[in-house]
Chains A and B, each alone.
Chain A
Amino acid sequence: MARFYDVELGSRLMLGTAQYPSPAVLAAAFRASGAGVATVSLRREGGGSRAGEDFWRIIRELGVRVLPNTAGCHSVREAVTTAEMAREVFGTPWIKLEVIGNTDTLQPDPFALVEAARILLADGFEVFPYTTEDLVVAGRLVDAGCRVLMPWGAPIGSGLGLVNPYGLRALRARFPDVALVVDAGLGLPSHAAAAMEMGYDAVLLNTAVARAGDPVTMARAFARAIEAGALAAGADPMPARDMAAASTPEIGRAFLE
């Protein structure tokens, strides 16, 4: 079981709800994935439209927890206001805090992220900050009160996987008691398995499933990879070494020259 603030979840997969070919495929992918959390957003609604309500009904029927995001926000004020609006609409203190600092890489602005996290935590939010693997920024977020950190694997939507495994391992080692979720950049189930093998608590992904040719099968593949990676992490993996070490005993080997 993984714990996120005071909530224990059996599933270690958080799945996004964007970019699916249809609402039916979205729902089928969620069922196949076993995801325990769905990420959602807020966007402008036209007068007379009920698109938001229709979408919200689909998500509620999934029976999973929702994690609203502040995607697209570039300033502390935007992110805080969006979080406040999301808490009212979705009825949860959880917020995936994104404060974007670069439009090419969509990487977080760590300075604004820490400031926004402080404001939201003081207001009762349970903040899931989308951050980098930087140890110092992570420390500031934990000092501010974050009990979950969500470092990127790679830029959002890139599918590159874990581009800095050293940094992600260092983060895991430095913060053994903080829930860590690799968020963004995963493209393949093997990327998710690698994150879990490092001892991460969960992964959050969207595009890798939604943009696959067969999202439902890919969702199932991620579910199995995450389960395998988590099992492996709990089984105390052997240390890697540079030189060969024979596994078959030397004792009793025949001399046949």
Chain B
Amino acid sequence: MRIVLNGETREVRAGRLDAALAELGYRGATVATAVNGGFVPAAARPATPIADGDRVEVLAPRQGG
């Protein structure tokens, strides 16, 4: 299926957020996630389904003022 990852369309096979993240190269990364604009805590990723067209945001620490 196709999801929108950080604004870019990507193909994923996994149907759950944790598996999709692993598939997309985020295994073990220090990131926070949101699906369709709503925060998904790390502990909830295995139980969070991913559907075609979902918008997934994966954010990490950065410089800020």
By a beta-carbon cutoff of 8 Å, the part of chain A in contact with chain B is: 16-20, 39-53, 55-56, 59, 68-69, 71, 77-78, 81-82, 84-86, 88-90, 156-157, 184, 206-207
Answer yes or no: B42 CB below 8 A from chain A CBs.
yes
Q: Which of A45, A52, A71 has the most B CB atoms < 10 Å from its CB?
A: A45
A45-B29, A47-B25, A81-B37 as given contacts; A69 in contact with B64, CB under 8 Å: yes
Known: A43-B60, A88-B32. 13 other contacts (CB 8 A): A39-B65, A41-B62, A42-B61, A42-B62, A43-B62, A45-B26, A47-B58, A53-B60, A69-B64, A71-B64, A85-B33, A89-B30, A89-B32
CA distance A82 to B29 in the complex (A): 18
Which residues on B sit within 8 Å (CB–CB) of A39? 64-65
Complex contact B31–A41 (CB within 8 A): no
CA distance A51 to B52 in the complex (A): 28
A46-B6, A50-B29, A52-B29 as given contacts; A89 in contact with B59, CB under 8 Å: yes
Which residues on B sit within 8 Å (CB–CB) of A69? 64-65
Size bracket, chain B contacts? 20 to 34
Complex contact B26–A43 (CB within 8 A): no
Nearest 8 CB-CB pairings of A with B: A52-B60, A41-B64, A47-B25, A16-B65, A85-B32, A206-B65, A45-B60, A48-B25
Partner of A207, one of B24, B38, B65: B65
By a beta-carbon cutoff of 8 Å, the part of chain B in contact with chain A is: 5-7, 24-26, 29-34, 37-39, 41-42, 57-65
Q: Which of A49, A52, A207 has the most B CB atoms < 10 Å from its CB?
A: A52
Which residues on A sit within 8 Å (CB–CB) of B24? 47
CA distance A41 to B29 in the complex (A): 16
CA distance A41 to B30 in the complex (A): 13
Complex contact A42–B63 (CB within 8 A): no
CA distance A86 to B57 in the complex (A): 13
How near does chain B come to A128, taking the closest CB pair, in angstroms? 13
Which residues on A sit within 8 Å (CB–CB) of B25? 46-49
Complex contact B39–A17 (CB within 8 A): no
A47-B25, A81-B39, A84-B39 as given contacts; A41 in contact with B32, CB under 8 Å: no
A77-B37, A81-B34, A88-B41 as given contacts; A44 in contact with B64, CB under 8 Å: no
Which residues on B sit within 8 Å (CB–CB) of A81? 34, 37-39
How near does chain B come to A215, taking the closest CB pair, in angstroms? 13
CA distance A208 to B40 in the complex (A): 36
Q: Which of A43, A44, A207 has the most B CB atoms < 10 Å from its CB?
A: A44
How near does chain A come to B28, taking the closest CB pair, in angstroms? 9
Which residues on A sit within 8 Å (CB–CB) of B57? 44
Find the B residue at minimum CB distance from A17: B63
CA distance A55 to B28 in the complex (A): 16
